[in-house]
Each structure stands twice: as structure tokens, then as C-alpha cells.
């Protein structure tokens, strides 16, 4: 039998072993770590700085008093409370969809939704850079999977052509992409993708994990910015990033939500999220879509532009190539008290190890400028997708 120590040794020698870093402070633009003390944190997805905000902490505390700490059961048993349904109504109204369903995480949303929609005789077509949760969801579905090179519309079209010849009368074709890609920070050509999926009668799922709350009118996402909300069959996202909390959502038709309630295994066989959390998410959505959110988004985008004038999102990758170079750059930044992670295979393709900088509205402008100066020495290669 394999010894786990041998497997760890293999990871070590490939420069791929990862380990956990213990934080002694709350999440924020400056964090206190056990191994390196205070660090200026450019690695979190808490884009609006809400995770440790006085506003959310107060709301959360109040909601715990009102709803209790736990939910007691799965949603289908006796775990569906006012707070869950109110959040789903809030999300459907916000995203202009007929209905919405929420999950305990974005990961559980992807792995719950895709296998509930597609099965053995169906076809799922994914962008090559889709998040692990979307890939796992597609695999779990048992559908035939096709992958197109990142944002390659020509290849997507030929997959769709092939799929529509292949799929049976009742079969489904599901195209899956992200609106902002988590490791590259670039955007999908949503308008063209919508045009293609409509032409071939396919369904489309767009994961807005890194756009929700920070892009589009009221932070509604890239689909809203492009005026495409009504044409995307499944708008998915997470409350774990810009909203500073945790949980996932999908906005779709009433019929699909009812089908998900009946079929989605991560929804059915998992205890409902704490009702206090659901109620806090509702308040966070209202906060983020209003003038407070507008002010935070303005600050965030100013901070982003201080790092890169034409950045399409709050995620700035700096390609290093080898694992060793990426690790050395990350270590150098750590010595300057910047936490900027090196991202390696299997999170990104081999040979494309990189630094991944994420920006927050809560960052001190002076720290952003100081980081920019540090990064200038690395910014030699642009990220490209052959």
C-alpha cells in the first residue's frame, strides 16, 4: 500500500507541496500570521473589505439572536426557514430571474447544479480554465464532456455543432463558463457566447464568483453590465467573495429551481446554512447593491487602477512560469511584508505558475502603491493563452 509520506515527498520535490498558514487576526487588508507576523494581505477575495466590517459583524450578531445559531436539518427536512426563502426572493429580484436557490458554498452550488441538469445522454461544454467546482460538477453528472481552449469562440462553436448533431431529441447541451476567471482575472466574451448557445439551442451557466458585488450596475455582475441577464439560463455565484460571508447561489427559472430542490445532491443531503447567515447575506446584498456598495466599488476600482490601469477585474496575475520562480517571488514579497501567493499546478496549467494579486476596497492606498513598486521588477511577461 502507498505510504502518504512518499506522496508528500513527491509533491515536495516537484515544488508543489502546500501547507496551511495560521492567522491570528480576523480577515482584512492587514493580517497577523503565526509564522510571519503582520502582513499586507493581497491574497484574499474579500474584495469589498466586508468580512470584518463593523456593519456585517453587528448584523450577524443581531441575526443570531433572532434566528439562533444552527439550522438543525437539511432544507427539505425541516431546515427551510424564513431567512432562507427571503434571501432567495432577494437574489431573484436582484438578478432579475424568476427564482433563485442558495447553497452552503459556491463549490456545493456547482457540484449540485450541473449534475441535476445534465445526465448521461447530455453534453457539457466547458471553458478550459473553469474552476475546479465546475469541472467536478460536470464529471459527476455523467454527461459527455467537451472542453474548449480559454475564451476560444471558434472551438466553442465547433463543439456546439458537434453536440447538436450528437444529442438526442430530449438531450441537453450545457455550456459552462465564468464571467471573470479566478486565476487569470480576465473576462469571458459573454455576448458572443450567448449568441452561440442561442443559435444551437444550448443552455448556458455562468459563474459570477469574481464579478458579483464588484462589476456591473449595483454590483449585479458582468451579465448585468452587458445587459444579458435574461439570456443566461443559470447565473451562479458565491457570497464568499465580495460579500465577505459564505454560501452560493443560482438564479434561474422557477421550474429549474424546483427541479434542483428535487435532484441537487449537495442541496438535499446537506444541512441548511445557518439561518442567521442567510439573513446576514440578505442584508449584505442590500448593502452592496446600494450607495454604500457604490462607494466601496469606487474605492476598489481606484485601488485596482493604481496597480494596473487597464485591469478587467480585481485579480491581477503576474506570470512567472516555473514553480521555483513563482515561489521565490512570493517569498521575496513576504520579506517586504506583502502576502501575495504563488499559484501553481494543478490550480493553473503546468509552466504557468504565477503570482496572484487580489485587491480590496479596504487596502491602504500607500500599501497599493508600495506593492506596485515591488511588482514592477517582475512584470516582464504578459499572460497569454496560445
Q: Single out the segment in contact with ligand PLP by CB under 6 A; choices: 56-64, 102-110, 226-234, 329-337.
A: 102-110
Instruction: Tell me which residues in 174-213 interact with ligand PLP (CB under 6 A).
Output: 178, 182, 207, 209-210
Asked about 330 being catalytic, the answer comes back as: no
Closest CA to 312 of 383, 235, 231: 383
- Decide whether 186 or 207 has the Cβ nearer to ligand PLP: 207
Q: How far apart are CA 104 and CA 264, in angstroms?
A: 12
The pair phi, psi for residue 225, each rounded to 5°, is -60, -35
Q: Single out the segment in contact with ligand PLP by CB under 6 A; choices: 101-109, 287-295, 322-330, 361-369.
A: 101-109
Q: How many C-beta neighbours within 10 Å does residue 287 have?
A: 21
Out of 47, 60, 67, 107, name the contact with ligand PLP by CB under 6 A: 107
Asked about 210 being catalytic, the answer comes back as: yes
Asked about 287 being catalytic, the answer comes back as: no
**Three-state secondary-structure class, residue 235:** strand
Is 133 a binding residue for ligand PLP by CB under 6 A? The answer is yes
**Grid cell in block for residue 127:** 471553458
Q: Is 382 exposed, middle or buried (0-12, 13-18, 19+ CB in 10 A)?
A: exposed
Asked about 89 being catalytic, the answer comes back as: no
CB of residue 108 to ligand PLP, shortest distance in Å:
7
Asked about 131 being catalytic, the answer comes back as: yes
Asked about 303 being catalytic, the answer comes back as: no
| β-pair type (123-127, 144-148) | parallel
Instruction: Tell me which residues in 257-286 interact with ligand PLP (CB under 6 A).
Output: none
Helices (H), 290-382: 291-307, 323-335, 365-376
Q: How far apart are CA 164 and CA 99, in angstroms?
A: 28
Q: Which of 178, 208, 229, 283 is catalytic?
A: 178
Asked about 270 being catalytic, the answer comes back as: no
Which residues bind to ligand PLP, rule: CB under 6 A?
105-107, 110, 131, 133, 178, 182, 207, 209-210, 238, 240, 246, 248
Q: Which residues are catalytic?
A: 45, 131, 178, 182, 207, 210, 241
Amino acid at each position: 500500500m502507498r505510504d502518504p509520506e512518499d506522496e508528500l515527498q513527491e509533491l515536495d520535490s516537484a515544488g508543489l507541496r502546500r501547507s496551511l498558514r495560521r492567522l491570528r487576526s480576523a480577515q482584512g487588508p492587514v493580517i497577523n500570521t503565526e509564522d510571519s507576523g503582520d502582513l499586507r494581505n493581497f491574497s484574499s477575495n474579500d474584495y469589498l473589505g466586508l468580512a470584518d466590517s463593523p456593519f456585517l459583524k453587528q448584523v450577524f450578531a443581531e441575526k443570531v439572536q433572532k434566528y439562533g445559531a444552527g439550522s438543525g436539518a437539511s432544507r427539505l427536512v425541516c431546515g427551510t426557514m424564513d431567512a432562507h426563502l427571503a434571501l432567495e426572493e432577494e437574489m431573484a429580484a436582484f438578478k432579475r430571474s424568476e427564482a433563485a436557490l442558495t447553497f452552503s458554498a459556491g463549490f456545493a452550488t456547482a457540484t449540485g447544479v450541473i449534475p441535476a441538469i445534465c445526465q448521461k445522454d447530455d453534453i457539457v461544454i466547458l471553458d478550459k480554465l473553469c474552476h475546479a467546482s465546475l469541472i467536478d460538477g460536470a464529471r459527476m453528472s455523467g454527461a459527455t464532456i467537451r472542453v474548449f481552449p480559454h475564451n476560444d469562440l471558434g472551438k466553442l462553436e465547433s463543439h456546439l455543432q458537434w453536440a447538436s448533431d450528437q444529442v438526442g431529441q430530449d438531450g441537453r447541451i450545457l455550456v459552462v463558463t465564468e464571467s471573470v476567471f479566478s486565476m487569470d482575472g480576465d473576462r469571458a466574451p459573454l455576448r458572443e457566447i450567448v449568441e452561440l448557445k442561442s443559435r444551437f439551442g444550448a443552455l448556458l451557466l455562468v459563474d459570477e464568483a469574481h464579478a458579483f458585488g464588484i462589476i456591473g450596475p449595483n454590483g449585479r455582475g458582468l451579465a448585468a453590465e452587458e445587459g444579458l441577464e435574461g439570456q443566461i439560463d443559470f447565473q451562479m455565484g458565491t457570497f464568499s467573495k465580495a460579500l465577505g460571508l459564505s454560501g452560493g447561489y443560482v438564479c434561474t427559472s422557477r421550474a429549474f429551481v424546483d427541479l434542483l430542490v428535487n435532484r441537487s445532491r449537495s442541496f438535499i443531503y446537506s444541512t441548511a446554512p445557518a439561518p442567521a447567515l442567510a439573513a446576514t447575506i440578505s442584508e449584505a446584498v442590500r448593502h452592496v447593491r446600494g450607495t454604500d456598495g457604490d462607494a466601496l466599488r469606487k474605492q476598489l476600482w481606484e485601488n485596482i487602477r493604481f496597480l494596473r490601469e487597464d485591469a478587467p477585474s480585481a485579480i491581477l496575475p503576474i506570470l512567472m512560469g516555473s514553480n521555483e520562480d513563482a515561489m521565490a517571488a512570493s517569498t521575496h514579497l513576504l520579506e517586504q511584508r506583502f502576502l501575495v501567493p504563488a499559484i501553481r499546478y494543478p490550480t493553473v496549467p503546468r509552466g504557468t505558475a504565477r503570482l496572484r494579486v487580489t485587491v480590496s476596497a479596504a487596502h491602504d492606498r500607500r500599501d497599493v502603491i508600495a506593492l506596485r513598486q515591488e511588482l514592477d521588477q517582475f512584470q516582464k511577461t504578459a499572460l497569454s493563452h496560445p
